[in-house]
Structure 1
Amino acid sequence: MERSVLVSVHEGLHARPATQFVKLAKSFASDIEIECNGRKASAKSAVKLMLLGVKENDEATLRIDGEDAAEALSALVTFLQTPGAGDIDLKAMTSAPTSPSSRAAMPAPARGPGERPSGIAASEGTALGPVFAFFPPALDIDPAPVAAGGIEAEITRYRTALDETTGALAANKRRDGVKADDAAIIDALIDVARDDDFTAGVEAKIRSGQNAAMAVDAVGKELSASFEAMEDPYIRARAEDLRSVARQLVLTLIGRKDVTLAEMPIGAIVVADEITAWDLAKAKLSNIAGIVCRKGAATSHIAIMARAHAIPAVLGAPFNEAALKGAKTAALDGARGDVVLDPDAATAERFSTAIAREAEERAALASYRTIEPATKDGRRIEVAANLGSLAEIDKALEAGAMGVGLFRTEFLFMERKVLPSEAEQTEVYTRLAKAFAPHPVVIRTLDIGGDKPIAGVEFEHEDNPFLGWRGVRMCLERTDIFKPQLRALLKASIVGNLKILLPMIADASEVAKVRALLDECADELAAETVPMGAYELGVMIETPAAVFLADELAASVDFFSIGTNDLTQYVMAADRLNPKVADLNRTEHPAVKAAIAKAAKAAVDAGIWIGVCGEAAARLDLIPFFLENGVSELSMSSASIPRAKKRVTEC
């Protein structure tokens, strides 16, 4: 079987999505090949897959042969067409904000006379402190060959070292302070260490007579050189992972302990040639005030982890090793890429002032986590979270989410071989509702189609799946899938805060059909003496048809939720994944704002509430517009919640 697909995974198949894709591929018995950019690779090798350099919006072709080929094709295509598949949201964590509206930028200290950027601005924030020089010594590997009679024993020694090394790394995931994103990076490193091509390369060299340490070192250098030769910065950054994996394996094999960041003093600035995610996995990250490295890029795992833990970092700093080792103190501005070694009193004072100002701003923003914001005229606004899984609950609660404005149920169905049962769905929806009670939880019914298929549903080829058999259209035809979900939602409604949201509505008759199905399900559950509670039914305003019919729709539902992502692309006839029309795909475009205003007026006139659950809900420049038009709920990624709450209070 063969199928070509446009890759929608954020930033493409970089380390984490690549290893997740490989895990999924390995769950099938079929032989699976992927082709992209004129090159082919096994879909069951993370190293080979990353070396293809598959980027977002690339076209990839899957070729699958075997007894479970159909199931494998459906699952892997779904993965490639899911923006957040296997992700630690690198797009959000590595992309610089494009405008002041995307986040409130913290002012950095003005540069002193003659100062220039020193390196790559990898993680924003200002830091000043004593230097902790981290320069692991070069490995001293005995080149002695292995005799023919000792080859199998040497391979066994390598495999034991592999188990020991990856086991020690996995243990670091259980330390205090390790976030989900950190754990994901650690998993990616373990997958690289255990990659079939990596291990096969090592064992081949051992069989040729090299000892295990020499073999690991050689394969590590060969593969990292291959990564560094790639054009894509995400793929080049994976060379760092290969080097760190190989180094740790060699150290285990030669019986040496590496220098570690575990014992560094609190408040120190780590200066180094290169720091890997493997090194950071051993450190108490709260002790680190800042990071300065001679190597690295904004796409490296060290940069991602620094941003996740709000550690200021500058990478690619143009200092020689002697200068870094000889410095007593360092100051850095991670937003600009400035580094000053041994700053004079005036410079130190300037950085200290900036640090104090940033602390005040963070504290002020943190206070918004616990408030329920209101506009200046006293109107309470709910600021909720967009979620795709139960694993995201803690982060949303920590950010101060006032409920869930959008729970994407399709992630329950995707990346699996069988459909989730009614009981499984009931448990998920109930746990979600209880986690946020008494705040509202809006659960969107299954929104899948030819662009993101699921196991158990045969989607015919569609030239434009975004305009095809998807969302509520598919569900109303496949009641064998839809009714179990509706029954599960009705069971979960006993918690008392559940709201059901219907996607891709284009006609009032669709709402009537769903209500009839809900009544049918309710009658069945009542006959089974299953308890249910009250719920609200709402529709997504994401098609132009829904905008034009907003008055009619408002008379038949309890709320509207504006999906700005799809609404924008449909109003502007501009694919949101196509960079060539990105200038048209703007929520702030007058045509899109007019559509939003029309839908909002219909909701206000009908006396129902209206929310915004697209990415634009967190836009600081658009929040006033939404509120002026009667929007009473904004739902967004958890990280944006405190800043959005603050903006609401300013309106």
Structure 2
Amino acid sequence: MLGSLRSIVQEVNAARDLPAVLDIIVRRVREVMHTRVCSVYLRDKQSDSYVLMATRGLNQDSVGKVHMVPGEGLVGNVVTREEPINLERAESHPAYQYFPATGEERFSAFLGTPIIHHRNVLGVLVVQQAEQRRFDEGEEAFLVTLSAQLAGVIAHAEATGALATIGRQRRETRFGGIAASPGVAIGRAHVVSPQANLATVPYSCCMDVEAELELFQQALGNARKEIREVGERLKNDLNREERALFDAYISMLDDSSLAVEVCDRIRQQLSASRAWAEVMLEHVRRFEAMSDAYFRDRAADVRDLGARVLMHLRQQQQAQRDYPQNTILIGEELTAAMLAEVPRERLMGLISVKGSANSHVAIIARAMGLPAVMGAQDLPYEQIDGAELVVDGYRGELHVHPGAELRRRYDAIVEEERELARNLDHLAGLPGETADGHRVRLWVNTGLMADVVRSLERGAEGVGLYRTEVPFLLRDRFPSEEEQREIYREQLEAFAPRPVTMRTLDVGGDKALAYFPIEETNPFLGWRGIRVTLDHPEIFLGQVRAMMKASQGLDNLRIMLPMISGVGEVEAARKLVERAHRELRDEGYRIDMPPLGIMIEVPSAVYQASDLAQQVDFISVGSNDLTQYLLAVDRNNSRVASIYHALHPAVLRALLQVVNAGHTARTKVGICGELAGDPGGALLLVAMGYDVLSMNATNLPRVKAALRAVKKSDADQLLKQVLDLQYPEQIEQVLQDFLQGLGLKALLQPEGESQNPNSKNYMSNVKKQSSK
């Protein structure tokens, strides 16, 4: 059964569209299970019913004509129960309903399993037999397993098919994801993908067929040359079998039938890279489906060859491609380096198929003020390169080919967002304090030089987190000490005399350096943050020296250590920092020892906060990672994104414990996670006693407006109220009600229902409140 399961899934993955997917399912399942009937019913969203979409064994004329609402018939009961129904005599079941068009009166045994994707029942997979018998446990388990594996494929195929139809008819369609960075962006899709991944080559057409054919032939020639050179260089280090692999590669590239297949698709106006990827993946799947183990293993060789040619194609195409003026960057998994390749003035918004609202690239998007949607898993992004898009970063929605009316509504929202920002400009010169004078430092999180101007314009009083890994992420090698010094000097000078907190290199987890790969099964619990730099003191010392050199004459540097889990790490890092300071003093630099602080990001640091506070000059909570570790939720995993909640009661209680421990030790305590940039969350943090709130510059005016409208005593009462609650949703509602009572909800919580662009009252409410 396992072999059959794998074979069916491989065939389905290779199918071109939804009808082909369904046909493979009903044909292959009937063969493997030796049943008389296999059928698939899929949900029709418009009628909220389940429609017979494919069958082998029932009358073909009934396809598309048999509908059942949830609870109706056996199929409808599978939907409502969300579990299998296995019957020896289907006709005797109370829910049985007879549909004459199907001809199913001949069959008694019935087994139906739900096809569930993201908690929604997409459809029902059914097998039937003429004789009266109950399907055994193995058969039921097989069908349940297959349904679970096919759910994502069917969802993607549905979305792709809908988009293909819409593309021909130029009708708008909507896809959902996770709201990751607020705002609305209207622009053109620009799809990016890993340089040599056949599976992620976007669907794209070519206008000049002859030029594309020439491009393909050049790539083949370059690949042949590269393979020959590598084979020649390594011939003395390889045995006969290993050398034969290079000969096999050359032989495949010289195979005229392979080139003919690709050229035929290019002549149908498919781009060279897409045509090559389609042909090579088809060959890979043929090898993977073979029963002989030797030939199955050759699939990896075919994939490797395909990637080599694709790399040459991409290099030639990238040199010819330009970014649209209003670029919406789309990728399976966007990275900081991908963002950096787009001129800032052309980048309007981001969409990532993977990731969540708290992934690293989402945080950068918020810092840059770019609307973003993450975790758009059902988006067939390969099909929409160049299409007009609307990115709704408030509601986590994407609109492909928006119609005139939808476009008009979103244009109005974009314009009124600009007006709202202008209405908050006057706050830049005012202090961050409550209505009764309680002072709180409002700092910013930075990483790019583009952040500097925005931060200063909005009244930043300092930098609570400078992400030093960003310059590392944007290079193809470690930056030298002098290169780092120049980068750090720019930040320190721009904010002087305001303090700038520089976090030492924090890589690992979702921040990978291409030239320093960290391959781990569980990277978020692995080698990251301070663990990496303590194991590589040469990296740590070089970075700390560069920071201190950059601070000469400015004296506004603070150094912060990430991912601290115990006192021993602080002691080891402090020795290195003090050593770097001594060395620089010996070299003639007149530099005072900068304040040294730590980030509280893991549970062990929460419970040892009192001990840690006595070792350092300041503490800063990284609430994004702390939330992730407390709730055991990978913040990049869109499947569990709904569990990640910064207002979870456990998170709030941990934050209160940390600030109390710090103040008992007479140590200043700040916070630099996304919670600090949420107006409601900021009020709770002020009530807890946090000395510094550090956030992205985009949110700073909103937080300041909220603080200046509230008395400290009212914030204290608010905190007392929420600490007694058990659910994050309750806490969120209390905060919204509190802000609403102040007349601030429309201004400060744009992600609510009133954000619906179909609502006529949306921006009128915002305008009214921003004038107060």
TM-score (norm 1): 0.52
Bigger RCO of structures 1 and 2 (CA < 8 A, at least 6 apart): 1
Conservation of the 8 A alpha-carbon contact between 1:508 and 1:553: yes
Q: Distance in 2 between matches of 1:636 and 1:497?
A: 19
Residue 482 (structure 1) aligns with: 540
Deviations 1:156-204 (A, max 9, x none): xxxxxxxxxxxxxxxxxxxxxxxx999x9xxxxxxxxxxxxxxxxxxxx
Coordinate RMSD, CA, aligned: 4.6
For this pair of structures, how many residues does the alignment match?
390
The one-letter amino acid paired with 1:473 is: R
Equivalent residue for 2:403, pick from 316, 320, 327: 316
Name the SS of the counterpart of 2:684 in structure 1: helix
Distance of aligned partners of 1:40 and 1:458 in 2 relative to their CA distance in 1, 3 Å threshold? farther
Q: Give yes or no for the alignment of 1:536 onto 2:591.
A: no
Q: Which has the larger radius of gyration?
A: 2
1-structure distance, mates of 2:275, 2:421 = 37
Closer, same or farther: CA 81–92 of 1 in aligned 2, 3 Å:
closer
Residue 514 (structure 1) shift: 0.8
Contact 2:618 2:667 in 1 (8 A): yes
SS in 1 for 2:569: helix
Match of 2:688 among 612, 625, 629: 629
C-alpha contact (below 8 Å) 1:368/1:642 kept by paired residues? yes
In structure 1, C-alpha distance between the alignment counterparts of 2:705 and 2:275, rounded to whole Å = 41
**Aligned-pair distance for 1:529?**
0.9
Unaligned segments of structure 1, at least 5 residues: 1-7, 26-31, 54-60, 73-78, 99-179, 185-229, 241-295, 305-313, 320-330, 339-353
Helix, strand or coil at the partner of 1:370: coil
- Correspondence for 1:423 among 482, 491, 503: 482
Aligned to 2:349: 90
2: distance between equivalents of 1:469 and 1:81? 21
Asked if 1 retains the 8 angstrom alpha-carbon contact of 2:560 and 2:597, the reply is yes
Aligned to 2:526: 468
Q: Residue 550 of structure 2 is aligned with which of 479, 492, 500?
A: 492
- For the 8 Å contact 1:82–1:452, the answer to whether it is kept is no
Give the match for residue 129 of structure 1.
none
**What is the deviation of 1:231?**
6.9
Is 1:559 equivalent to 2:618 in the alignment?
A: yes
Please state whether the residue corresponding to 1:378 is helix, strand or coil: coil
1:370-449 paired onto structure 2 within 5 Å: 370-449=429-508
- Change over 3 Å in CA distance of 1:406–1:181 after alignment to 2: closer
Change (3 A) 1:52 1:392: farther
Give the 5 Å matches for 1:191-210. Answer: none
Q: CA deviation at 1:410?
A: 0.9
More helix by share: 2
Q: CA deviation at 1:504?
A: 0.3
Letter in 2 for 1:86: M
Question: Which residue in the other structure is 2:637 paired with?
Answer: 578
- For 1:374-408, what per-residue CA distance to the aligned partner results, in whole angstroms no more than 9, with x for missing partners? 12342222222211122321122222222211111
CA contact (8 A) 1:505 1:511 kept: yes
Counterpart residue identity of residue 483, structure 1: L
Equivalent residue number for residue 615 of structure 1: 674
What amino acid sits opposite 2:586 in the alignment?
A: A
Q: Deviations over 1:409-454 (max 9, x none)?
A: 1111124222101111111111101101111111110001264332
**Which of the numbers 390, 394, 398 marks the counterpart of 1:298?**
390
Distance 1:490 1:466 in 2: 30
Secondary structure of the 1:617 match is: helix
Change (3 A) 1:401 1:89: farther
**Structure 1 residues 524 and 82, CA, compared in 2 at 3 Å: closer, same or farther?**
farther
Give 1:316's aligned amino acid.
G
Residue aligned with 1:86, SS:
helix
Task: Quote how far apart the aligned CAs of 1:16 are.
Answer: 7.8
Q: How many Å apart are 1:89 and its aligned residue?
A: 7.3
Question: Does residue 35 of structure 1 match 2:35?
Answer: no
For each residue in 1:499-533, what CA deviation from the matched residue of structure 2 results, as whole angstroms up to 9, or x when unmatched?
11111000011111111001111111112112323
State yes or no: 1:569 paired with 2:628: yes
* Distance change >3 Å, CA 424–CA 18, structure 1 → 2: farther
Residues 443, 316 of structure 1: CA spacing in aligned structure 2 closer, same or farther, 3 A cutoff? Answer: same
Distance 1:86 1:625, change over 3 A: same
Change in CA separation of 1:380 and 1:423 when aligned onto 2, cut-off 3 Å: same
Q: Per-residue deviation at 1:52?
A: 9.5
Describe the SS at the equivalent of 2:386: helix
SS in 1 for 2:563: coil
Give the superposition deviation at 1:455: 5.0
Q: CA separation of 1:34/1:551 partners in 2, compared to 1, >3 Å: closer, same or farther?
A: farther
Q: 2:565 aligns with which of 484, 506, 514?
A: 506
Q: Distance in 1 between matches of 2:673 and 2:272?
A: 35
> Identical aligned pairs, as a percentage?
33
* Deviation by residue 1:36-69 (Cα, 9 ceiling, x = unmatched): 4999999x9999589999xxxxxxx995659x99
Alignment of 1:22-101 (within 5 A): 25=195, 32-36=196-200, 83-87=335-339, 88=347, 90-91=349-350
Whole-Å Cα distance in 2 between the matches of residues 645 and 604 of structure 1?
Answer: 24
- Cα offset, 1:631, TM superposition: 1.0
Structure 2: distance between partners of 1:379 and 1:333: 41
Secondary structure in 2 matching 1:501: strand
Give, in whole Å, the separation in 2 of the partners of 1:604 and 1:473: 27
The one-letter code matched in structure 1 to 2:481 is E
2:653 maps to 1:594 = yes
Partner letter of residue 338 of structure 2? Answer: G
Partner of 2:604: 545
